[in-house]
Amino acid sequence: METAYVGYLYLRTDAILALLKPGAVKAARGWMCLLPLTLFIPPVTTVLQLMSCDNYNLQAVVATVKWWAIPAAGLGLAATDAAFITLFAWQLRRAQTDATAMDPHLAIVSRHGICSACMALSSFGMYIVFALTGFERCYISVLLLFYFIVIVLVAMKVSLHRNEMHRRQIMSLHRLKKKTHTSQ
């Protein structure tokens, strides 16, 4: 599951970079790779203190890493997902109001970013469900989460289809307006 989550992160990063100008992509890619590292500063300093020669304790180091690193990474990625969903939804809303505001490629990239970010958020939800219910109720949790993911994905697909139909109507009206204007 962690591999799938990292894959979603890679796809989301590429999607957000596709919205930038080509010259800014290299710089943005470098900075975006460095941003998640800031989440690990508190656990790293704590682990280094625990591993000093005076008070080395392996169990305390492992417990600290589990306590800080996993939730920090998950919350950081969830916040990134929420920011991506907001940005992509804003881009699609702008494309709906003005037919020339976004080319079709960026509209596809935005839809892809929304769907992949929603899937990543639901996979982070799986960790939360497991943490709250415990592994003895694992099967019920997975079943409930599976239904939740299916409902979210179906709702997203319906919403995206409706947005696409609305965009096509705007484009056809725009073309009709141009034809009428040129024929006069």
Interval 25-72: pLDDT, tens: 555 555 555 544 444 455 555 555 555 656 666 666 666 666 666 666
pLDDT, position 50: 57
With a cut of 60, say whether residue 182 has pLDDT above it: yes
Convert the pLDDT of each residue in 108-129 to its tens digit: 666 666 666 666 666 666 656 6
**Among candidates 64, 111, 65, 104, which has minimal Cα distance to 87?**
111
Q: Residue 171 — very low, low, confident or very high, per pLDDT cuts 50/70/90?
A: confident
CA dihedral 149, 155, 161, 165 (to 10 degrees): -160
Q: What is the largest CA-CA distance in the chain?
A: 88
* SS (HEC) of 63-116: HHHHHHHHHHHHHHHHHHHHHHHHHHHHHHHHHHHCCCCCCHHHHHHHHHHHHH
pLDDT, position 172: 76
Domain ranges of the chain: 2-183
pLDDT, position 170: 74
Q: Residue 179 — very low, low, confident or very high, per pLDDT cuts 50/70/90?
A: confident
Q: Residue 98 — very low, low, confident or very high, per pLDDT cuts 50/70/90?
A: low
Please compute the mean of the pLDDT values over residues 162-178 and round it to a whole number: 72
Looking up tokens 């589990």 gives 66
pLDDT, position 5: 47
